[in-house]
Amino acid sequence: MKKVLFVALLTAFTLRASAQNNPADEAPQLEFALQLKVTLGEAFSIDNTQHGRRTVIPITGGTFEGPQLKGTIINGGADYQLANSQGRTELEAIYCIKTDDGVYIHVRNRGIIRGGQDADGKPTFYFRCAPQFEAPADSKYGWLNNSLFLCAPTFSSDFKGIVLNVWRVK
């Protein structure tokens, strides 16, 4: 009986070990979805709240373009940031975009900004976000509702605002 139990456990372990794949082989792939060029208004802050420093940056407009969509960013949204004393900022930008064919899409973009130093004392900067889109489900933009997205900013001296490059996680 012990021999049968040992063989059964050995077989189960062998099957489980052979069924596991290398996690690096299964890493998610990204595909470019769109670039947003967001114009911003004058920021204002509320210092020393019970949660940290609150900054509000009005979103005044802009444009966006990608392989499957193009349009404008609607004036009236804002980027709400909450900074703590350790150099970490959480952000939540809420705004709407309008495609060139007249479809409105709601965007909620949450992220983290972190400045600091690495082990060698060199400055570091981390800024990543995860936008979520709410598009009409029955539109050609419904695919935005059913994917995860990541974005990272780029800064340009010739554009007064922020440029966000957005990728869909495949």
* Cα–Cα distance, 99 to 50 (Å, whole number): 39
Examine the pLDDT at 16 and tell me if it is beyond 70.
no
The C-alpha atoms of residue 9 and residue 73 are separated, in whole angstroms, by: 60
Question: Once rounded to an integer, what is the mean pLDDT over residues 7-30?
Answer: 65
Q: pLDDT for 49-98, tens place per residue? A: 999 999 999 999 999 999 999 999 999 999 999 999 888 999 999 999 99
pLDDT for 107-151, tens place per residue? 999 999 998 888 898 988 999 999 999 999 999 999 999 999 999
Compute the Cα dihedral for 93, 98, 99, 104 and give only its sign: positive
Q: Please give the pLDDT value at position 157.
A: 83
Domain ranges across the chain: 29-169
CA atoms within 13 A of residue 108's CA, in its CB half-sphere: 4
Task: Confirm if 144 and 132 have CB atoms less than 8 A apart.
Answer: no
Please state the separation of Cα 5 from the chain's center in Å: 50
Predicted model pTM: 0.82
Which residue do the tokens 């804002």 mark?
78
Residue 6 has pLDDT above 90, yes or no: no
DSSP strands (E only) in the chain: 30-40, 44-49, 52-66, 69-73, 77-83, 88-99, 104-117, 123-134, 149-154, 161-169
When pLDDT is cut at 50, 70 and 90, the band that residue 160 belongs to is: confident
Q: How far is the CA of 48 from the CAs of 83, 86, 109, 143, in angstroms?
A: 10, 14, 24, 41
Q: Which fold has domain 29-169?
A: Porin (2.40.160)
